[in-house]
Amino acid sequence: MKKEVILKVKDNFVKELKAGNPLIHSDAIMNGKDLKEEGAIIQLVDERSRFIGRGYYGKQNKGTGWVLTQNEKEELDQSFFDKKIKAALSERATFFKSNDTTAFRVFNGEGDGIGGLTIDYFDGYYLLTWYSEGIYSFKETILHSLTALADYKGVYEKKRFNTKGTYVEDDDFVMGERGEFPLIVKENGVNFAVYLNDGAMVGVFLDQRDVRKTIRDQYANGKTVLNMFSYTGAFSVFAAKGGALKTTSVDLANRSRAKTIEQFSINAIDAESQDIIVEDVFHYLKYAVKKQVAFDMVILDPPSFARSKKHTFSAAKDYKNLLKDTIAITNKNGVIVASTNASGFGMKKFKGFIEGAFKETGEKFKYMEEFSLPCDFKTIREFPEGNYLKVVFIQKLS
Ligand code: SAH
């Protein structure tokens, strides 16, 4: 049993923690110097030593640890982790039964009761992502819960330990059978090639599942589609499957061309009939605006922060300008899918960028629909920052 460190919480942080916000801010703690080893169990108390919650110490970009229980009698032992993992697995029961979708999130951090840990499922393989040294120190206990409760072929992991959340290079295989990669998983009947042991990213972002399906089923037919920041081209594949006239995928990373060709190929789409452009989006946009190239549908899914040779992009600062150029290359009645995973601002502010961009370009628009995280990416009301995804479908009217 780990030793418990008692931490005093400053008055102005008590209310939020008591209301169930599980994130422990580093500046909330009065005696932070008592925190020595990540993974230590901490008991939070108020200035009059009354119990607030029990959690662990783990440094992330987000904070200094997570509260795991507000019940003073609950210990953070094997049965605690069993209970959380069991509940999460059973909430995904319909996903496990699906033949059409074999990749989804099984455990979503604080949404499922353990901040700092996510678990994804890829057709029999489980991928655990550890967001701090602290949560990693519970690895044996958590693996014990998972492997006792779930049928698995193999288990892989990603370590994202430092405070920036960057990936720690390693052999990511943990136990069971090693997978053969690419592993072909399905999402709503579409194939994805996934690599669980090849760096930080596996080939697909599962949180966009509902958006991809909507593009395929309701928007793509007969349209020319531009997919910017396309990565492995997942949106392009769904658009092509939905009957798009042609897709154009733009990403800066060299690997994106081969990865996108691969995703098309495993879905019996001729990659030759699609455009795949390896280029800085900001450069491409300049070219497209100048040449008056335009599309019926433009998907815009930039990272929250990106640095290329010439450009630093921050969603919070630069999204509006990115949209202005996007509006310029969208046909009348065309649809822009504006997406961001920036957790620093919410839907309201995001819509402010959209409205500002249309206003400044003098174009009219209509909101069609909007998305946040899908249900397997479970979030809790007490921690709204956890619901980071914002996707808005906008029709350009003029
Ligand atoms: N939309 C993708 C995920 C995007 S991930 C999907 O649905 O799967 C972010 C991608 O943006 C990365 O592939 C990265 O290479 C790319 N990127 C970052 N900065 C860029 C830039 N300036 N121009 C083009 N691509 C960029």
pLDDT digits (tens, 9 = 90+) for 236-278: 999 999 999 999 999 999 999 999 999 999 999 999 999 999 9
Farthest CA pair distance, the chain: 69
Is the confidence at residue 398, as pLDDT, over 90?
no
Which whole number is the average pLDDT over 169-197?
A: 96
Encode burial over 225-263: b for 16+ CB neighbours within 10 A, e otherwise. bbbbbbbbbbbbbbbbbbebeebbbbbbeeebbebbbbb
Which tokens belong to 393?
């479908």
- Separation of CA 26 and ligand 1 centre (Å): 32
Domain with CATH 2.30.130.10 in the chain: 4-69
Peptide bond into 22 cis (omega under 30): no
What SS3 state is found at 257?
Answer: helix
Domain with CATH 3.30.750.80 in the chain: 78-189
- Separation of CA 227 and ligand 1 centre (Å): 10
Helix axes 234-241, 255-265, angle to 10 degrees: 30
Residue 108 pLDDT grade (very low, low, confident, very high; cuts 50, 70, 90): very high
Domain with CATH 3.40.50.150 in the chain: 205-396
**Looking at per-residue confidence, does 26 or 104 come out higher?**
104
The class of domain 78-189 in CATH terms is alpha beta
Question: Which positions ≥6 away from 271 have C-beta within 8 Å?
Answer: 260, 261, 264, 265
The tens digit of pLDDT for each residue in 13-37 reads 999 999 999 999 989 999 989 999 9
Which whole number is the average pLDDT over 307-336?
A: 94
In CATH terms, 4-69 corresponds, of 3.60.20.10, 2.30.130.10, 1.10.3720.10, 1.10.10.10, to 2.30.130.10
In 168-243, alpha helices (H) = 209-214, 234-241
- Separation of CA 223 and ligand 1 centre (Å): 22
The tens digit of pLDDT for each residue in 47-100 reads 999 999 999 999 998 789 999 999 999 999 999 999 999 999 999 999 999 999
Residue 169 pLDDT grade (very low, low, confident, very high; cuts 50, 70, 90): confident
Q: Which of 70, 64, 72, 67 is nearest to 28 (CA)?
A: 64
pTM of the model: 0.97
| Probe residue for ligand 1, chosen from 231, 249, 250, 277 as the CB with the greatest number of ligand atoms within 8 Å | 231
Question: Which positions ≥6 away from 31 have C-beta within 8 Å?
Answer: 7, 8
| Probe residue for ligand 1, chosen from 187, 211, 251, 256 as the CB with the greatest number of ligand atoms within 8 Å | 251
Residue 1 pLDDT grade (very low, low, confident, very high; cuts 50, 70, 90): low
Q: Which atom of ligand 1 is found nearest the CA of 311? A: 22
- Separation of CA 388 and ligand 1 centre (Å): 17
The tens digit of pLDDT for each residue in 348-393 reads 999 999 999 999 999 999 999 999 999 999 999 999 999 999 999 9
To which residue do tokens 């399906």 refer? 213
- Say whether domain 205-396 belongs to CATH 3.40.50.150: yes
Residue 166 pLDDT grade (very low, low, confident, very high; cuts 50, 70, 90): confident
Helix axes 347-361, 315-328, angle to 10 degrees: 40
Mean of the per-residue pLDDT values of the chain: 96
**Residue 318, Cβ neighbours under 10 Å: how many?**
17
Question: Which positions ≥6 away from 370 have C-beta within 8 Å?
Answer: 347, 390, 391, 392, 393
Ligand 1 shell residues, CB under 6 Å: 205, 208, 229-232, 234-235, 251-253, 256, 280-282, 301, 303, 306, 308, 311
Is the confidence at residue 162, as pLDDT, over 80?
no
Per-residue model confidence (pLDDT) at position 309: 78
| Probe residue for ligand 1, chosen from 212, 216, 229 as the CB with the greatest number of ligand atoms within 8 Å | 229
Four-residue CA torsion sign, 30, 110, 38, 89? positive
Question: Side chain identity at 349, as an amino acid letter?
Answer: K
CA distance 349 to 103: 31
Is the confidence at residue 307, as pLDDT, over 90?
no
DSSP-assigned states of every residue in 41-94: EEEEE-TT--EEEEEEE---SS-SEEEEE--TT---SHHHHHHHHHHHHHHTHH
Residue nearest ligand 1's atom 15 by CA: 253
